[in-house]
Amino acid sequence: MTADFQTAVAVYLKELAEIRLASPHTVAAYRRDLNAFGEHCGNPPLPQISRLQVQDWLVAGHAAGLAAATLARRLSALTGLLDSAVHAGLCPLNAAAGVRAPKQSTRLPRTLPPEQTAALMQPTAASADQRDLALLAVMYGAGLRVSEAVGLDLYDVDLHSCELRVFGKGNKQRIVPLPAAAADLLGSWLEARRQADVKDDQAVFLNRFGSRLSARSVQRMLKQRALTNGVDISVTPHRLRHSFATHLLTGGVDLRAIQELLGHASLATTERYTHLDIAKLTEVYDETHPRAGRRNQESAGLMDD
């Protein structure tokens, strides 16, 4: 790495993608953020970046109407770059360290009521309806991110065991169960796929050209299907994932099991998918997790101290 700003950014983003296995979406967002900082400050050498410049950049973003979440991501991108530079010995300190990100409002994710989920799954006259039904059944039935669904390869599917191998964020692998109805729809699609003009031999879900289906295409398909079937047209792939988690929890499924199914690293992340306040989450956690009792005793001990 070099202290030259743009060169340092390129090296850092390569490290982020190839070593830390950040998603392409994250890398692209961080590239935009760091380029924006460079433009705002004139691409200063890393040792010359000051805390005041960082704060001024965030204030300018706020004045331009950027959301708190966007500003927090910008700060995270710059902090990561400077952390890397400090470790490489290119600058004495991280000027972004300790700068507080703007407070983000807590927004509960919206779910799709079960009846609307069922309506979304009703057949349509769309030419790719068989594929779309299978895709929706897999996304909702297994709680997949849209990137995980379109990233499925044939060898990730085990219809006999009704399981999918999924690669989530950071390329972390997990095995998720597939409901029987979803497995049936997926099996029907895979039979039809054999008759298609296939360009991507491995992709489970193909577009009309025989190549891997894109996440953006799935979003467009959902909007059109919602319009056709009388469903809330604000439905998104991520909203289906929220719904999966919420419907499972409502049905009495263990919170830790939902965390595993979603591929979340922490319980706090799962909380955002389930529309529960943290007090209720803690109550469920304490009732279900084998170490909860010990954790409570340790917490009580700390309070006594």
Is 241 among the residues known to form the active site?
Answer: yes
Annotated catalytic residue, options 40, 165, 238, 289: 238
Pick the catalytic residue: 193, 242, 247, 264?
264
73, 131, 145, 225: which one is catalytic?
Answer: 145
Spatial CA neighbour of 249 closest among 236, 238, 261 = 261
Alpha helices (H) along the chain: 5-18, 24-41, 51-63, 68-87, 114-120, 129-142, 146-150, 180-193, 215-229, 237-250, 255-262, 267-272, 278-288, 292-304
Residues 176, 162 contacting (CB under 8 angstroms): no
Residues 12, 140, 273, 285: which is the catalytic one? 273
Look at residue 146 and give its three-state secondary structure: helix
Residue given tokens 């979406």 in the structure block:
25
Concerning whether 32 is annotated as a catalytic residue, the answer is no
Active site residue 169: yes
145 is catalytic: yes
Which residue shows structure tokens 């006999």? 160
Cβ contacts of 96-101, under 8 Å, gap ≥ 24: 96/49, 96/51, 96/54, 98/51, 99/51, 99/54, 99/55, 99/58, 99/75, 101/58, 101/68, 101/71, 101/72, 101/75, 101/76
| Catalytic residue flag (residue 264) | yes
**Catalytic-labelled residue, pool 241, 242, 247, 285:** 241
Q: Which positions are annotated as active-site residues?
A: 145, 169, 238, 241, 264, 273
